[in-house]
Amino acid sequence: MSFIRRRFHKCADKLVEEYTVSTHFDWRLYRQDIAGSIAHARMLSKQKIIPQTDSEAIVEGLETILKEIEQGTLKPRTDLEDIHMNIEARLTELCGAAGEKLHTARSRNDQIALDMRLFVKDAASETVNSMKGLQRALLGMAENNLQVVIPGYTHLQPAQPILLAHHLLAYFEMLERDIDRFQDCLRRADVMPLGSGALAGVTYDIDREFLAKELGFGSVSQNSIDAVSDRDFILDYESAASVCMMHLSRLAEEFTIWSSQEFGFITIDDAYATGSSIMPQKKNPDVAELARGKTGRVYGGLTAMLVTMKALPLSYNRDLQEDKENLFDIVDTILSTVDVFSGMVKTSVINKGSIERALKRGHILATDLADYLVKKGETFRSAHGIVASLVSHVEEKGLSLDELGVDEYRVFSPLFEDDVLSINIESSLEARSATGGTAPSRVRKALARANKLLERQQH
């Protein structure tokens, strides 16, 4: 019988053992758990709570266990309930009674809180690095197609001409905010809970600042009850991941639309597309579509964690065992999505011919005509109405605005003069030169700024 059950008169029911065991998923925390235990053993020795010889034996044993796990020779035992008991049991096998001293001055409550904070810190850092890779891919596509003009859309209807680079930089900005959220998550996870005990602190003369330094934490928790029951840092990561996946889903939607026969703006590389089991002509944007689907999966994980936490009394409750599987899945989902998107963006080809044809549809310079009239002295509302009538007229005639002569323009307003014919895609772009606009000069500055941001982040 496990020492934990010595207070009981019978063994746990087999169904209870299977229901409560967590080794099939918390085994993933072995690196964090061993790192925390090594730091704890060294602290116990430093504070003369256990002999130095025992501490050295424990550290050596833990390093052996780390190698055994990574080499695949040590497998989790489900009869030992969780990662912590598995490692402690193996440690005792390796170094005898010294191994039984490791758990002095700590509880599994502050131990798992530590493991999870270490995991989230690692995950947040890795996510940020992956997202920088996607930002670089977007910048590469933007810089390689700096002269390409596409229709900008509202309501998925042609609206105004914009540079493709300007459009792609919108996603760069979204990812920049995502990176900021993950970095903020990392900052809030950077609080060391070990030393809080089960909930009330410990009775030993421990050195929590030493532990924080050993484990790379910036500070220690200030309330033992909060430390063992807090999972806000997990919610922070999952919330940031949800917003990021929303951004990626929007990009996925556009790649799906742009790669369709109706648009044809891009060709997704064969390595990032799939075929049909029945239709031999098909080339499907499955990577993008899967990302849209996986976005809901990430949202579900966040919602599940919020519901788990919403009514828990202080301090620790076993409900908190449910904090791991969804988090692990979310981390895996966002990392794989960001990485595969980086490859998809890098290898996709822009189809300039299809884009040029699209620019000729939808009377995309109508707003520029209204602005022209305003500069001639018309009020904007009146100018808007005049151009709306113009558009209705050319649609009835089956024409486009650029097919009209000056005399036809003057039928709708005497303010139209010969210079109206100089309104074109290039003039439309150049006119939007305010900060954040799509003018080529502005977009070049935006690209330079984006590259500088990435360079600073690398350092």
**Catalytic residue ranges:** 155, 276
Residue 268 tokens read as 């997704």
Residue 59 tokens read as 């550290």
Contact in structure between 104 and 58 (CB atoms under 8 Å): no
DSSP conformation class of 274: B
Q: How many CA atoms lie within 13 A of 225 on its CB side?
A: 4
Residue 286, strand partner residues: none
DSSP conformation class of 262: T
How far apart (Å, rounded) are the C-alpha atoms in residues 188 and 237?
A: 10
DSSP conformation class of 312: P
Are β-strands 266-267 and 149-154 bridged in parallel, bridged antiparallel, or unpaired? unpaired
Please provide the DSSP assignment of 84-143 as one string.
Answer: HHHHHHHHHHHHTHHHHTTTTT--HHHHHHHHHHHHHHHHHHHHHHHHHHHHHHHHHHHH
The position carrying tokens 């390093």 is 63
| AA letter at 134 | L
Residue 307 tokens read as 């519901």
Residue 174 tokens read as 């979204």
Which candidate, 143, 178, 136, places its Cα nearest to that of 339? 136
How far apart (Å, rounded) are the C-alpha atoms in residues 291 and 405?
A: 48
Which candidate, 178, 190, 172, places its Cα nearest to that of 128? 178
Which candidate, 175, 359, 141, places its Cα nearest to that of 255? 141
SS3 content of the chain, % helix, strand, coil (to 5): 70, 5, 25
C-alpha distances out from residue 398 to 76, 160, 358, 406, 422, Å = 73, 20, 16, 18, 22
The position carrying tokens 């459009």 is 167
How far apart (Å, rounded) are the C-alpha atoms in residues 381 and 370?
A: 9
Give the helix/strand (H/E) hosting 152. strand 149-154
